[in-house]
Amino acid sequence: MRTTLKIASAVAVAAALTLTGCSSAGSDGGGGDDDPFKVIAFTSGNQTPVGAWWVKAVTAQAEELGWDLTMIQGDFDFQKMNPAVESAIGQGADVILDGYTDVSSIGSIVTAAKDAEIPIFSMDAGTEATDAFATNITTNQQQIVDKTVDAIDESIGGLDGKTIMVIGHDPHAGIRLRSQLAVTAFEDAGATVVSGEPQQVTNPATGRTEALNFVSDYLSANPDGLDAVWAGWDDAALGAAQGLSEAGSTAPVTGVDALAETLAAIEAGGNMLATIDQPWPAVLDMLIEDVVAYQEDGTLPDENFVAVDVTLVTKENAADTTPSDKLG
């Protein structure tokens, strides 16, 4: 039994790979002796580095395990992706894999899967337990906040009386939760959070520029008015760091993702103080282990929500960290 850890665009949709054979849907662990194990996998985030890695990694696992895989890539277009997945469900499957697609965006898929009695095994598909999934394995959002807030605390000699900017993006469930948790953590420690809430990036594609503008505009009106910036993901953190540097501020910035560019910036010793490494390869291994157990005898995971530990990346361990955009 796995124990849950405490608090964890093109618009084309492609059915990219069907390896071999067919099998019928059901809840008894999959096809018969002569049928391959039939898997539908989908992700809305395939245009992100981690999402693209997931597509390749799942495909490789399916080939190794002899699964009959249909891979659907959504490019953040749910109006096209969801019907494509539902159509695949109508053709029958043994399990469904969901990578990096929040449960709130796939209600029609969840309904179709339940009607067909096909379990969904997910990773990073929401921030709380739900009966929509047989399991959802993700990272510990509270731990992400604790580690980054502590790093800022240590870097600036305490949080009491300091002014911190928090940058978030509410449409992303993980970023939404951790940015809200960060606001609470800073205020509980006596810091003032700019505007009392996260500064909201409207579009991840322009997140770096938006974060830079948040910082630049604030410092233009309040010179030397920021003691630190906490960002919910690395691209925004890099924009904030640029804005601080251009204004001549030494205020530290933390992010989440461990991108190669972020690790290089941390090693260089400028405004980028730290980021978070989320162990996605290990999470996928855990998910595949659960699916294989179901394939063998119909065993479902004991827990439908698992939050795994993360690692704070600083100048001391940045060189030893595999960048999330270089996973494969």
Give 163-222 pLDDT, tens digit per residue. Answer: 999 999 999 999 999 999 999 999 999 999 999 999 999 988 899 999 999 999 999 999
pLDDT beyond 80 at 32:
no
Question: Measured in Å, how far apart are the chain's first and last C-alpha atoms?
Answer: 30
Do 193 and 167 touch, CB atoms closer than 8 A?
no
Q: What is the pTM of this model?
A: 0.88
Same fold, 14-140+279-308 and 141-278+315-320: yes
Its CATH class, for the domain covering 141-278+315-320, is: alpha beta
Q: Does domain 14-140+279-308 have CATH number 3.40.50.970?
A: no
Q: How many CA atoms lie within 13 A of 64 on its CB side?
A: 8
In this prediction, residue 3 has a pLDDT band, given cuts at 50, 70 and 90, of very low
Handedness of CA 203, 209, 211, 215 (dihedral sign): negative
pLDDT beyond 80 at 287:
yes
Q: What is the mean pLDDT of residues 36-44?
A: 97
Handedness of CA 152, 156, 159, 164 (dihedral sign): negative
All structural domains of the chain with their residue ranges? 14-140+279-308, 141-278+315-320
Do 56 and 326 touch, CB atoms closer than 8 A?
no
For residue 76, what pLDDT is reported? 86
Q: How many C-beta neighbours within 10 Å does residue 203 have?
A: 11
